[in-house]
Amino acid sequence: MRFLVAGALLACLPAQAQPVHSPEVAADRTVTFRLMAPAAHEVNLAGEFMKGSKPLEKNAQGLWSVTVGPLEPEIYNYNFTIDGVKTIDPNDPAVKTGSTPSTIQSILEVRADRPSFYDAQPVPHGEIRTHWYESKSLKTTRRLTVYTPPGYDHNAGTHYPVLYLFHGANADETAWTRLGHVNLILDNLLAVSKSKPFLVVMPFGYGVPPGSANPIAGGNTAAFGRDLLEDVIPFVESHYRAYTDRDHRAIAGLSMGGGQSLSIGLNHLELFSYVGGFSAGIRTAEFQQNYGAFVADPQKANQKLHLLWLGCGTDDSLFPASESLSKMLDDAKIKHIFKKSDGAHTWINWRRYLNEFAPLLF
């Protein structure tokens, strides 16, 4: 009997007989990555905690390993390349997934001595709700993720402002919760009264199939925009106690979703009064088309917009585009914040931008 039970459970275990501990974070925050691969010729590590890649070294048993760091406490993505095949660390249960294979990576969490702004803390918690809705504009069933702040269920008389928050290319409507920790960041801000309570609505950002076209070119934004304006917003405002005026609506996104939030938000000042673009996926060649009408009327822009917030890391290859947009806004005398941060095109920055952006809303 014992044998049969053990057989059933072991059937799920990887081929390696011995469990391999990877990644292992030591007390000094150095991190050791390991892989049992006696037949492999070359194993490399790449990750958001380093530039380029680093080879692992093989011991006599075929166990490859490398140690990096010490690393700053943070949540990092990384991957192995095993004899030319880029893949995850098969011994790490934390896997980043999305809507295309290019998003797949392993996740390393290096904890600080004290909880970080994105960690679960013993404070009142909001909820994450997942809806399946019929998109009339896109003629399909889609998923929608909504954060409700602590107490939402028990404050029957209270209405809430809404932040529409978009993910990047290759991701999906779960990215801001699973990778962005949006609920924990907002729970923690609320617990110290640094932010007002508001709903966060996170739709699926593809109006065309993921991978079918350049995701930051205009076609996808147009299709996604129809779903947002014709399906998502009406769904939210009929299901939640949401304010329905522009003063209580914000729109923001990262990468592809930053291009969407800027393009849709700045061209719909009748709907939105707070606009954010995090490491926005924007192209200077399309500036005139996307923002021409907006910058042509700076008086209206400054009067209508309570906040226009741009952020980008100087190591991000999209940095020059954000800088050019900021300069275009400066030239037109349109008030905005341009947060020029360290770092690259990573969730490290997007969590931090959200933590900085949220207290400025509503």
- Using CB under 8 A as the binding rule, the residues of this chain from 302 to 321 that contact a copy of itself are 316-318, 320-321
Shortest distance, position 86 Cβ to a copy of itself, whole Å: 4
Closer Cβ to a copy of itself, 182 or 301, answer by number: 182
Half-sphere exposure of 112 (CA within 13 A, CB side): 11
Interface with a copy of itself in residues 2-61 (CB under 8 A): 2, 4-5, 7-9, 11-16, 19, 35-42
Q: Which residues pair with 337 in a beta bridge?
A: 309
Nearer to a copy of itself, 256 or 301 (CB): 256
Stretch of residues binding a copy of itself (CB under 8 A), selected from 26-34, 91-99, 196-204, 260-268: 91-99
Look at residues 67, 41, 66 and name the one whose alpha carbon lies nearest to residue 56. 66
User: What one-character DSSP code corresponds to residue 115?
Assistant: -
Binding window for a copy of itself (CB under 8 A); candidates: 84-92, 219-227, 327-335, 349-357: 84-92
Q: Residue-wise over 36-60: b if at least 16 C-beta within 10 A, else e? A: bbeebeebbbbbbbeeeeeebebee
Contact positions with a copy of itself (CB under 8 A) in 217-246: 239
The CA-based angle 325-304-359, given to 5 degrees, is: 75
Report the C-alpha dihedral over residues 103, 108, 112, 113, rounded to 10 degrees: 140
Q: Which is nearer to a copy of itself, 129 or 246 (CB)?
A: 129
What token pair was written down for 42?
């070359």
User: Does position 94 bind a copy of itself by CB under 8 A?
Assistant: yes
Stretch of residues binding a copy of itself (CB under 8 A), selected from 24-32, 264-272, 282-290, 303-311: 282-290
Q: How far is the CB of 282 from a copy of itself (least distance, A)?
A: 8
Cα 330 from Cα 246, distance rounded (Å): 24
Q: Which is nearer to a copy of itself, 125 or 248 (CB)?
A: 125
User: Considering the complex, what minimum distance in angstroms separates the CB of residue 34 from a copy of itself?
Assistant: 12
Judged by CB, which is closer to a copy of itself: 2, or 114?
Answer: 2
CB 123 within 8 A of CB 187: yes
Q: Is 87 in the site for a copy of itself (CB under 8 A)?
A: yes
Of 1-9, 25-33, 66-74, 246-254: span binding a copy of itself (CB under 8 A): 1-9
Within positions 100 to 159, which residues make up the interface with a copy of itself, using CB under 8 A?
Answer: 100-104, 120-122, 125, 127-134, 141, 153
The nearest distance, CB 201 to a copy of itself, in angstroms, is 14
**DSSP symbols for 180-241:** T-HHHHHHHHHHTTSS---EEEEE---SS-TTSS-TTSHHHHHHHHHIIIIIIHHHHHHHS-
Question: Which parts of 156-215 interact with a copy of itself (CB under 8 A)?
Answer: 169-170, 177, 183-184, 187, 211, 214-215
Counting residues that bind a copy of itself (by CB under 8 A) gives 80
Shortest separation between residue 307's beta carbon and a copy of itself, angstroms: 25
Q: How far is CA 126 from CA 200, 279, 359, in A?
A: 11, 27, 17
Antiparallel, parallel or unpaired: β 63-68 and 105-110:
unpaired
User: 75: which strand partners?
Assistant: 109
Using the 8-state DSSP alphabet, how is residue 47 labeled?
A: E
Of residues 242 through 281, those in contact with a copy of itself by CB under 8 A are 255, 281
Nearer to a copy of itself, 27 or 85 (CB): 85
Question: Which one, 122 or 157, has the nearer CB to a copy of itself?
Answer: 122
Name the residue nearer to a copy of itself (CB basis): 82 or 301: 82
Output the 3-class SS for 49-61. CCCCEEECEECCC
Q: How far is the CB of 222 from a copy of itself (least distance, A)?
A: 18
> Can you tell me which residue has the tokens 């889609």?
142
Angle between helices 287-295 and 319-331 (to 10 degrees): 30
Closest to a copy of itself by CB, 97 vs 267, is 97
For residues 191 and 200, the answer to whether their CB atoms sit within 8 Å is no
Closer CB to a copy of itself, residue 227 or residue 273?
Answer: 227
